[in-house]
Structure 1
Amino acid sequence: MPPAYAFIAPVLLLVASNVFMTFAWYGHLKVEHRALWVIVLVSWGIAFFEYWLAVPANRIGRAVYEPAELKAMQEVITLAVFAVFSVTYLGERFTLNHGVGFALIALGAWFVFKGPL
Structure 2
Amino acid sequence: MGLGLPVPAVTIGLLIASNVFMTVAWYGHLKFKSTPLVTVIAVSWVIALFEYILQVPANRIGHGYFSAAQLKTIQEVISLSVFALFSWIYLGERIGWQHGVGFGLICLGAWFIFHDFG
Consecutive unaligned residues of structure 2, counting only runs of 5 or more, are: none
TM-score in terms of structure 1 length:
0.94
Kindly, what percent of the aligned residue pairs are identical? 56
Shift of 1:4: 5.3
Amino acid in the other structure paired with 2:106 = I
CA contact (8 A) 1:6 1:63 kept: no
In the alignment, what sits opposite 2:100? 99
AA aligned to 2:31 is K
1:67-103 residue CA offsets vs partner (Å, 9 max, x unmatched): 0000000000001101110110000000011111111
CA RMSD of aligned residues (A): 1.2
Give the corresponding residue for 1:8: 9
Aligned to 2:49: 48
- How far off is 1:8 after superposition? 1.0
Distance in structure 1 (CA, Å) of the matches to 2:22 and 2:10: 18
Could you list the runs of 5+ residues in structure 1 that have no partner in the other structure? none
Looking at structure 2, the residues matched to 43 and 4 of structure 1 have their Cα atoms a distance apart, in angstroms, of 31
Write the mapping of 1:24-63 to structure 2, written as runs, cut at 5 A. Answer: 24-63=25-64
Runs of 4+ in 1 over 2 A off after TM superposition: none
CA distance in 1 between counterparts of 2:24 and 2:47 reads 7
Q: How many residues are aligned here?
A: 115
Query: 2:13, 2:91 → 1: CA distance?
Result: 24
| Aligned position for 1:74 | 75
Amino acid corresponding to residue 37 of structure 1 in structure 2: V
